[in-house]
Amino acid sequence: MRSVGTFEGLLEAFSYAARMCNGVVSDRMTSRKAAITLGFAAGAMAKFGTVAYMIKEREGPSEDARE
């Protein structure tokens, strides 16, 4: 159980560091439209990847894996 807490702590630390760096970059940008567009695109790609993975897993192993 201790390793789970350590892992979660590291993820939280990474999250705070990423937010801090992204905040500095956002403050230095003159137009935020590109950053907003990139953020929405990244979220859409992540959702698409997750859905594609779930569909692939539901179909079962591929023909190559069955041999």
Chain segment 12-29, per-residue pLDDT in tens: 999 999 889 888 888 888
pTM of the predicted protein model: 0.47
* Cα separation, 47 vs 60, whole angstroms: 20
Hey, where are the domains in the chain?
A: 2-60
Short-list 23, 5, 3, CA closest to 15: 23
* Cα separation, 2 vs 9, whole angstroms: 11
Chain segment 19-60, per-residue pLDDT in tens: 898 888 888 888 888 888 888 988 888 888 887 777 777 776
Quick one: pLDDT at residue 65? 58
Asked if 26 and 32 touch (Cβ cutoff 8 Å), the reply is yes
Q: How confident is the model at residue 66 (pLDDT cuts 50, 70, 90)?
A: low
Quick one: pLDDT at residue 13? 94
